[in-house]
């Protein structure tokens, strides 16, 4: 039997990647409403005890690790065990009803929803973040300039060395070595890969007509790592490498990362401000219209996206269902400030927080009674 989540166990097992979730969790009872972007009060945390399970996105894992621990400190009757298996794995486990919820950085497609065994699927926006283009290149500090077109050529295997004229032309005054580029990508089904390949497809006709957009694609070149943590680990280990990793992993591991040219022609590094600026260009998203890559705006970081939690509308276990919607309502409101922001996720905009709550208010028990008022 799987044991309830333990922050100590997580910290002991995460030696390769040091995440701020370990040792920096907020103290019980210290969450404040003052920074809540929605301006609403904290959700009511009282309710039935439950041991919940979830699986999916590694993009969400640092946030979830800290947030579910904090929630348990506020309501000891509810524990949440989350398996960071990638968006594809999370969708599969959710479809099979082996977990209470799934998490994916791209909403489920109609065909995936049709294969879900638990009935009507609801998809709740839960996190907003950027995908950094991290690299390991001796002597070259962060802020290397890249365009989407050049990045696509690197991942297509057309640009093979760091001193290629296409890269050098974007980085006047930077001494680039003749070292071969080692491309790092995900080996598992990944919503982070979806955001990344969606961006490349938007920028590069060659990428769009070749590998295309998806949680899994046929990568032309490179080494695969499992999860954001696997890609981050390879970038950290392999000299001359480049990889795409969720921003929290890059910042918490002190990676160097590129400034990407955005749709306005500006070179922008990923951070909370630039990811928020990208999302602000498309304020209304839904589970069927969710892409925010390469938005206009001089301050927009172009490789950004939302992550989504997957739940069944009808919960057959009322106690578990009630606990689940309360956890997720807290996660998408107060938890955005107490746990997401300190780990370099952008707090959900107020209208997206409201979208999350409106969606959760659609969850019912077997008798049709709403589980969140």
- Asked whether residue 170 is assigned to any structural domain, the reply reads yes
> How far, CA to CA in Å, does 104 sit from each of 27, 59, 88, 243?
29, 8, 7, 20
Average confidence score pLDDT of the chain: 89
- Asked whether residue 322 is assigned to any structural domain, the reply reads yes
Return the ∠ at Cα 371 (arms to 368 and 373), rounded to 5°.
115
Residues 175 and 316 in one domain: no
Q: Which domain holds residue 347?
A: 7-27+46-128+305-365
Task: Write the pLDDT tens digit of every residue in 100-125.
Answer: 999 999 999 999 999 999 999 999 99
Predicted pLDDT of residue 9:
32
Q: Which of 254, 286, 304 is at the close of a domain?
A: 304
Predicted pLDDT of residue 366:
97
Residues 161 and 275 in one domain: yes
Residues 350 and 246 in one domain: no
Residues 95 and 241 in one domain: no
Averaged pLDDT, 116-145: 95
Residues 147 and 119 in one domain: no
Residues 157 and 254 in one domain: yes
Task: Write the pLDDT tens digit of every residue in 18-57.
Answer: 333 333 333 333 333 333 444 444 566 778 999 999 999 9
Residues 106 and 17 in one domain: yes
How many independent structural domains does the chain possess? Answer: 2
Q: Which residue is it, tokens 């701020």? A: 20
Regarding pTM above 0.75, the answer is: yes
Residues 219 and 323 in one domain: no
User: For the domain that residue 348 is a member of, what is the CATH number?
Assistant: 3.40.190.10
The residue with greater pLDDT, 13 or 198, is: 198
Which parts of 246-348 fold into alpha helices (H)?
A: 247-252, 272-280, 318-331, 334-335
Residues 80 and 147 in one domain: no
Given a cut of 70, whether residue 344 has pLDDT beyond it is yes
Residues 203 and 316 in one domain: no
Q: For residue 365, what are the β-bridge partners?
A: 315
CA distance 60 to 306: 10
H or E stretch covering 152: helix 148-155
Predicted pLDDT of residue 142:
82
Predicted pLDDT of residue 254:
87
Given a cut of 90, whether residue 217 has pLDDT beyond it is yes
Residues 298 and 325 in one domain: no
Given a cut of 70, whether residue 253 has pLDDT beyond it is yes
Predicted pLDDT of residue 42:
55
- Indicate the burial class of 362 (C-beta count within 10 angstroms; 0-12, 13-18, 19 or more): middle
**Which two tokens mark 44?**
């009511």
């Amino acid at each position: 039997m799987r044991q309830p989540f333990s922050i100590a166990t997580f910290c002991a097992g995460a030696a390769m990647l040091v995440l701020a979730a370990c040792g920096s969790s907020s103290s019980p009872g210290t969450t404040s409403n003052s920074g809540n972007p929605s301006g609403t009060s904290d959700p009511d945390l009282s309710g039935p005890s439950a041991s919940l399970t979830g699986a999916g996105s590694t993009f969400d894992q640092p946030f979830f690790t800290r947030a579910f621990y904090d929630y348990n400190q506020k309501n000891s009757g509810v524990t949440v065990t989350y398996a960071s298996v990638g968006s594809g794995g999370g969708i599969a486990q959710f479809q099979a009803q082996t977990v209470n919820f799934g998490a994916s950085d791209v909403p489920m497609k109609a065909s995936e929803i049709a294969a879900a065994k638990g009935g009507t699927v609801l998809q709740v926006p839960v996190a907003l973040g950027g995908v950094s283009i991290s690299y390991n290149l001796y002597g070259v500090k962060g802020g290397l300039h890249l365009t989407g077109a050049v990045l696509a050529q690197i991942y297509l295997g057309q640009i093979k060395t760091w001193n290629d004229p296409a890269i050098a032309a974007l980085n006047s005054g930077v001494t680039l070595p003749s070292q071969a580029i080692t491309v790092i990508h995900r080996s598992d089904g990944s919503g982070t890969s979806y955001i990344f390949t969606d961006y490349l497809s938007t920028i590069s006709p060659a990428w769009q007509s070749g590998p295309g957009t998806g949680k899994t694609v046929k990568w032309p070149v490179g080494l695969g790592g499992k999860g954001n943590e696997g890609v981050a680990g390879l970038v950290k280990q392999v000299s001359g490498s480049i990889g795409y990793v969720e921003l929290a992993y890059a910042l918490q591991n002190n990676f160097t990362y590129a400034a990407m040219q955005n749709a306005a022609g500006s070179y922008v590094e990923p951070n909370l401000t630039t990811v928020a600026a990208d999302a602000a260009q498309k304020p209304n998203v839904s589970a069927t219209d969710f892409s925010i890559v390469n938005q206009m705006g001089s301050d927009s970081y172009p490789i950004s996206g939302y992550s989504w939690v997957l739940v069944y509308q009808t919960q057959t276990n009322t106690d578990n269902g009630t606990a689940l919607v309360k956890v997720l309502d807290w996660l998408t409101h107060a938890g955005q400030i107490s746990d997401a922001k300190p780990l370099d996720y952008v707090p959900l905009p107020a209208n997206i927080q409201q979208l999350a709550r409106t969606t959760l208010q659609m969850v019912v028990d077997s008798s049709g009674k709403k589980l969140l008022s």
